[in-house]
A and B are shown apart, each in its own frame.
Chain A
Amino acid sequence: MSSTHYNLPGTSQSPPRQDADRVSSGSVVSDTGARSVAQVLEQSQIKPVLEALDRDLIGLKPVKARIHDIAALLVIDRLRLNFGLASQSPSLHMSFTGNPGTGKTTVAMRMAEILHQLGYIRSAHVVAVTRDDLVGQYIGHTAPKTKEALKKAMGGVLFIDEAYYLYRPENERDYGQESIEILLQVMENQRHDLVVILAGYKDRMDTFFQSNPGMNSRIAHHLDFPDYEEAELSLIAQKMLADQHYQFDAGAMKAFDDYIHIRKQQAHFGNARSIRNAIERARLRQASRLFTQSSQELSKADLTTITAEDILASRIFLGAIS
């Protein structure tokens, strides 16, 4: 058959049979006739996604700036393509580093959406895996496991959480290295089919990249997630409450700010994750407080308001008072 009548995303018009170039010969995007940034934005409907990113995620300024940069590059690349200017299709593999609870997973989900809207991946699905899903228990077990994860992620995003666990220098017979090699190969050869995002704590990821220079060089975007400021954490708490149809009263707001201040000094502070847990516990206390007032009629405001009392009962304050 000389030419095909179909045009599949990720293939050129008449793909050469049995050619490694099959997918890379035409990138996922094709000429859409757009000539201005606004037109591309309109066609891809990327703007609402970016706006939602700015609106829904509090803080994370450097991360947002970087995402905007990436989105801008992809938009400009599309405009260039419409003039037939070939540019190397960008490498979109990323590493997200940051402390627990700084929003790495959340941003990964958003990133998948953005890349999908821009047409750089074919679907917006994220396959989240950890070492257990990639590395096998015995010889010959690792390759099929890693490949299975990769195959599931094809067309979307493969999110490897705690990626530094893949490499265990203390055990030279560890199968993690094998998994890394397969990942590298696919990250290089199937750049158009999937985007790999590695996530983990900053210091450990740095060691990981140092011992795997191949991995480091194949990742174009290193995004560092900063810890949240106290004011940002307070905003996050209000947002989380609003999502669940709760609210702080004035006293509770003040108490919670104190709570954040004290909790932040303590060990194992998990940023937004700690805030979520604190809110869960405050909800429990509010529920039992209302539960004891068995004869009182409860209004909607009673049911949705968390008071200072619910926050101050936390054991965090016990140490502070004494």
Chain B
Amino acid sequence: MLTNPTGKVTQGQFSFLPDLTDAEIMLQIQYGLTKGYAWSVEYTDDPHPRNTFWEMFGLPMFDLKDAAGVMLEFDQCRKTFPNHYIRLMAFDSNRGIESVAMSFIVNRPSFEPGFNLERQEVNGRSMKYTTRGYAADHPENERYQRKS
């Protein structure tokens, strides 16, 4: 299927790889912490690529030393939103950078239907395209109910 080659949403780092295990997630977090990044947890159920601002789960975590602290927050988010997309973001506060240095999806719905490419014929032969997630047909928090 052309619009969904991997069968899953590919955003952020590692998204073409198999899902990271918890141990691998912890390694990534620890790497970020040694770099001095502040981690935060975000979630959404709207997978559209233009949806860049996800909901924050708790506050960004500054001054952490160990990945277990971030995992505590992430576990809680995963328990609350088991069928949402959850991503971890690392904020680099160094002067001149001051932006997100790492971002990757750590939890995703069990079934991701992908996107519909809509073609609209306008002005004779011209075409307009738009993509729309199949899951977005439902209102918020009711998406991704299908299990398979």
Q: Which positions in A face B, CB cutoff 8 Å?
A: 1, 4, 6-8, 10-12, 14-15, 17-19, 22-23, 122-123, 125, 144, 147-148, 150-156, 186, 190, 193-194
Contacts and interface: CB of A to CB of B under 8 A. Distances in A.
B54 to A, nearest CB: 20
B23 A152 contact: no
22 contacts: A1-B18, A1-B19, A1-B21, A4-B21, A4-B24, A6-B24, A6-B27, A7-B23, A8-B27, A11-B26, A12-B23, A15-B23, A17-B22, A19-B22, A148-B59, A151-B69, A152-B65, A154-B69, A155-B69, A156-B65, A190-B68, A193-B66
- The majority secondary structure among interface residues of chain A is loop
B59 A144 contact: yes
Contact of A151 (B19, B21, B27, B64): B64
Interface in B55-109: 58-59, 61, 63-70, 72-73, 78
Interface in B11-48: 18-24, 26-27, 30
Contacts of A6: 23-24, 27
Contacts of B21: 1, 4, 14-15, 17
B24 to A, nearest CB: 6
Interface of B: 18-24, 26-27, 30, 58-59, 61, 63-70, 72-73, 78
* Chief secondary structure at chain B's binding surface: helix
Given A144-B59, A147-B72, A15 B22 contact: yes
Given A1-B21, A4-B21, A154 B64 contact: yes
A264 B66 CA distance: 43
A109 to B, nearest CB: 15
B64 A152 contact: yes
Contacts of A193: 66, 68
